[in-house]
Every structure is written in structure tokens, then in C-alpha cells.
Chains A and B, each alone.
Chain A
Amino acid sequence: MTTTDFLRLTGTSLIAHRARSLLTALGIAVGIAAVVLLTSIGEGLQQFVMAQFTQFGTTIVAINPGKATTAGTSMGMFGTERPLTIEDAMALEQLPFARAVVPFVQGNAEVEFGGRRRRTTVYGAGPAMPEAFRMGVSVGRFLPEDNPAAPRAFAVLGSKMRDELFREENPLGQLITIAGSRFRVVGVLESKGTVLGFDLDDTVYIPAARAMSLFNVEGLIEIDVMYEEGVPVDRVVDGIRRLLTARHGRDDVTITTQQQMLDVLGGVLDMLTFAVAAIGGISLLVGAIGIVTIMTIAVNERTNEIGLLRALGAQRSQVLSLFLGEAIVLAAAGGLAGLLLGAGLGQLLRVFVPALPVQTSVFYALLAEAVAVSIGLVAGVLPARRAAHLDPVEALRAE
């Protein structure tokens, strides 16, 4: 039997029951469309989140106090770890690969100007922050290079903060009150948008040492080191660890590279996409059951025909492949329709909900089609095997 004959025979039998074939294929189409659409959203989300994170640059290493690894024995008897200090940050600046070092403290405080108050996140940071995190200054300047241990009381506003506090007024040179202390505004940052729910524009940046005394904390919550492009990240981590171990008397910090963060995040998002694909997979399963049902009915209806084919000399394998072929064609056609439907809906979503970045992955699309074909194969096997093993005499006699 040639491929053309094969396609013609399966084709005519599917066309003979147009409505039924369409509905069965539709079952698979809906499943595939669900998988394609959901994974498109998942993939888009992943790219979106990744873009959000990498916008700060990828050559950044974060240092946090305390060891994140879990040891068998408690470290408690050796006393608590030493806090990260401004002096630590200053020492890190001396490392040859360090391009920028930013100490970090974070707290909530009430910011006041001219009778307007706004409770917001206040970051204690260093002058190198715009460089490390690729932040632009729209008006004025960022925090100046002061003595890091005793900086002047300057503040830089996020764009939203500026709008809320100053409206139309020029904020430069104005004095604002943060948690009771007075700071002079020296600049306003460009809008950075929201990252994972943190509004980066609704903030105030003040020197880290000032923030520590303002919030009455002994240590920094983080030091970020931006290193020279091209330096192996292992050398960076090693250098930092050696320096801080020397300063603290033991290794009591956690060093996280941007790459690690991205890996973890990527892993989470991959799982999310996979989970979403699995949900779509359930509807595919339902479609597969539809194919089993229809093919079982088809074999029952065409028992006579199977007997005839056997009498005319059809091999069992030929009967098997004819019925299997029908199941696969149904599933593959449904899959293709689903692919177009899913991708089309994805594009529509892109147009109507631009905030949700939908990205149809070729990998998932091909995978979905391969899954559809496999479903046809698996769903068709039982009915097709039954057809191939019918007793020709009985089959010819069937009403």
C-alpha cells in the first residue's frame, strides 16, 4: 500500500463522518491550544521577569551577613556572626576587580515636606549605586562621594516620591524630614518601574551610614559588589570571601552571585511553565479519551469492512495501520488546529493585554504537536489492534 493510498483510505473514512471527526479533532485542538497558550504565557512571564532582573546588570555579587548553609551543629555557641559594616564596604572597594561597592540598609519611615507626608521605603545606599544598578538620574545628582563613615545628610528621591511630595515644585535644594531628621534633596532618579511588587520609584535614597543611625541598626543588610566585566565570578567570590574572613575572623557571610539568582529564578519559572503545561495536558487527556471512543465506535461500525479487507487479502498489519492512521490523522489535525488557535489567542492577548508578555515557544509548540501525534498513536492502538485481530468470518457476518 502506498502512502497516497493510505492517506486516501484514512481520509475518506474521516470525511465520511465529517461532524464526528471534526468534534473529535476539536477535543485535541482545545487541549493543544490550552497547552500552547498557557506555556506561551508562562514563557512570556519568564522572559519578562528575567528582563526585570538583568536590567540591574549581571556582574553583581550580593553579600549578606550570616551563613545560609545549614551545618550539622549549631554555630550558636561561637556567638552570633559579626554584622556587615560600612568599613567592610570600604575595604571591599580596595579589591582590584571591584568597580563599584554599594552598602545597603532598608527601612520604613515617614517622609515629610511642606505638610505632605508619605510613609515609604527608605534605602541607605552609597554613591556608586546608579552605576551598579544602571539607574539614571533625571534631575540633579545622586549621593556625592562623601566620607562613607560620616556623610552629609543628603537625599535622592524616586520619581514617584518626587511627584507625590513636591507636585509641580522643584525639589532640588529643599529640605525634607525623614523620621524626624532633616535631609537636603540633591537629585531625582529616573523611573525604574516595579520589580516583583517593589515600587522602585516610591523610595528615598540616603547615605547608608545615616540610614543605620536613623533606623538604629548595627549592620548593613547587604553589600553589593559590581565587578569588572570578564573577571571569572569564582575569583570575585574567592577574593571577597578571603577579605571578609580576614576582617571578621571567620567566614560568616553569604555570597550570592547574580548568576545564581538567575539560575534559581529560572528554575522556579521553568517549574511554573511546566506546571501550567501539565494543566493543559489534562485537557489533552480528555481529547485522547475522545479519540479512543470514536475509534472504538468506528471499528464496531466497520466490522464488515474489516472482514472484507481481510478477505481481499489485507494483512493484519495493514488493517492495524489503517485504523491507527485514522487516529493519528485526527490527533495531528486537531493538534495543528490547536497550535494555530493557541498561538492566535496568544497574539490576541498580546494586543489586548500588552502588560502580559505572551511568547509562543517553538519548542513547546513542536512538543505539543508531537504529544498530539503520540496521543493519537496511543489512543488508536487498542481499537486498531481489535480491528486487526477480528475473525474475518465473524466480521463479514456482522450486521
Chain B
Amino acid sequence: MRELATTAMIELSHIDRHFQVGDQLVKALDDVSLHIDRGEYISIMGPSGSGKSTLLNLLGLLDQPTAGTYFLDEVDVTSLDDGQQAHLRNKAIGFVFQMFHLVPRLTAAENVELPLVLAGVPVEERKRLIEPSLEALGIAERAHHKPDQLSGGQRQRVAIARATVMQPGVLLADEPTGNLDHKSGEDVIAILEGLVDQGITLIMVTHDMDMGRRATRQLRMMDGRLDQDLRTSNHGPS
């Protein structure tokens, strides 16, 4: 084996995810095997219904495979129970959604605080973590605003702060620019790429070919299978 195997962050082997819809069996994921190293920048592209989101949900432990094994940081997560998976989501995985999914009644800072609250992090330490996080994303002065007082780009930045405040190893982004104008989208991508430079593993689902091509590794999905796995040397605008 190559040396990389020991530093593998994610190891999927022969993953199936089948749904029964009426009397029809839908193979959302069909024998997917994937090896992802720490610090990779990956885009997942493909037409609607090709299984991109299912793959992302599965990587994020929001969904369970019908068959196959999934090792995350050398732990067989398919054998974990619901509570252990929730714990792992909290500690090791960050999510960024197309719809931001901010809690409307909480301020930006309180939204960022949520994963810390769920983890039971003491109040003083939370402050210590939240402030630099908001600072780094340029939304410190919006900390006490509610989501409806923020622009789309600002909302997504709050969501990124929330996804990274626990300092997870992997960041999963589902169409993170899908609801943003071009300029804000560029900003958000730049922020995400900055996180990659700091060592985070970024896996991003996107429809946007230009966005997708910026990743150092581009996966293409088709009918639940990995169709193409392309590596380029350096990320950035193509």
C-alpha cells in the first residue's frame, strides 16, 4: 500500500444506497469506493439525481449506506449507533448548505455558538472560539444581527463560521454558492479555499462547472456511480 493509506481521512468501500420507491428500487449510490486524504479539495459534480447529494449526506453521517463500509479517521462509522454518529458529526464534520439553514430567531453569534452549545463547551471557552471565527470571516460587526438582517453572502459566512467553529477535519458543502449572486459566491469560495489552505478537507457538491474545476480533485457522478475522478495540481480559478 502507498503511504497515503495511513493518512486516509475517508475510505468508502463498495457503498450502496438503495431506496425503495413504490415497487421500484432506486440505486442512489451503486458500488461507490472512494479514498480521500486529509486536506484534499474535492468537488462533486454531475446531473440532478446522479447521487451527489446522497454521497455527501452519507459522508456527513446523515444517511446510512445499504451496503459497504465507511471509515472516517480509521473508525468504521457504519458500525456506530445514532448517538455516536451524532457525536462525530458534532466534532469531526462541518456542514455548509445551499439554504444556509440559520436559525432565524438567533443572532449570528448565537447561530455560530450552536455546535458548541450542543457539545456542552463551557461559556467562557465558547466566547474564545466564536469571536476569532467571526473575525476571520469578516462578520464580527454583524455578530448581534439576526439572519434576516444579513445579506446572503453574510449569512453563508455565518454558516461557514458555524461549520468550522468546532475545528472539524472535514467540511461538507452542498451547493454553497447556489443561493448567492456571483460576487458573493466568489467570496464564499475564496473563504472555503482559504480553509483548505489551513488544512481542512473540503468536499463540495456543485452544479457550477467553473466552481467545480477550481478543486484539485474533481469527481463526476452518473447514475449513482463515480464516473470520473480527475486530479489537478493546484486549486484556483481555471
> Residues of A at under 8 Å CB distance from B?
1-2, 4-5, 9, 12-13, 15-16, 304-305, 307-318, 392-393, 396
Instruction: Please tell me which one of the listed residues B86, B99, B104, B123 contacts residue A310 in the complex, with CB atoms under 8 A apart.
Output: B86
Instruction: Please tell me which one of the listed residues A1, A305, A307, A393 contacts residue B120 in the complex, with CB atoms under 8 A apart.
Output: A1
> Do B118 and A313 touch across chains, with their CB atoms under 8 A apart?
yes
> Do A313 and B106 touch across chains, with their CB atoms under 8 A apart?
no
Whose C-beta in chain A lies nearest to the C-beta of B126?
A5
> Do A312 and B118 touch across chains, with their CB atoms under 8 A apart?
yes
Which residues in B have their C-beta under 8 angstroms from that of A304?
A: 99, 101
Which residues in A have their C-beta under 8 angstroms from that of B76?
A: none
Interface bits B109-126 vs A (CB < 8 Å: 1, else 0): 000001101111001000
Chain B contact surface mostly:
helix
Q: How far is the CA of A2 from the CA of B106 in the complex (A)?
A: 17
- 11 examples of A-B residue contacts, CB within 8 angstroms: A1-B118, A2-B117, A2-B123, A304-B99, A309-B114, A310-B62, A313-B115, A316-B82, A316-B86, A393-B62, A393-B63
> Do B103 and A308 touch across chains, with their CB atoms under 8 A apart?
yes
State how many angstroms separate the Cβ of A130 from the closest Cβ of chain B: 74
Q: How far is the CA of A2 from the CA of B117 in the complex (A)?
A: 8
Q: Tell me the chain B residues, 44-63 only, with Cβ under 8 Å from chain A.
A: 57, 60, 62-63
Q: How far is the CA of A1 from the CA of B88 in the complex (A)?
A: 16
Given A316-B82, A316-B86; A311-B62 close (CB under 8 Å): yes
State how many angstroms separate the Cβ of A136 from the closest Cβ of chain B: 70
> Do B62 and A12 touch across chains, with their CB atoms under 8 A apart?
no
> Residues of B at under 8 Å CB distance from A?
57, 60, 62-63, 82-83, 86-91, 95, 97, 99, 101, 103-106, 114-115, 117-120, 123, 162
State how many angstroms separate the Cβ of B107 from the closest Cβ of chain A: 10
Instruction: Please tell me which one of the listed residues B99, B104, B123, B162 contacts residue A312 in the complex, with CB atoms under 8 A apart.
Output: B162
Which residues in B have their C-beta under 8 angstroms from that of A318?
A: 118
Whose C-beta in chain A lies nearest to the C-beta of B114?
A312
The 4 closest A-B pairs by CB, nearest first: A313-B90, A16-B105, A313-B89, A308-B101
> Do A396 and B86 touch across chains, with their CB atoms under 8 A apart?
no
State how many angstroms separate the Cβ of A277 from the closest Cβ of chain B: 38
Which residues in B have their C-beta under 8 angstroms from that of A313?
A: 86-91, 115, 118-119
Instruction: Please tell me which one of the listed residues A314, A392, A396 contacts residue B118 in the complex, with CB atoms under 8 A apart.
Output: A314
Q: How far is the CA of A15 from the CA of B105 in the complex (A)?
A: 9
Q: How far is the CA of A311 from the CA of B62 in the complex (A)?
A: 7
State how many angstroms separate the Cβ of A373 from the closest Cβ of chain B: 24
Q: How far is the CA of A317 from the CA of B104 in the complex (A)?
A: 23
State how many angstroms separate the Cβ of B219 from the closest Cβ of chain A: 20
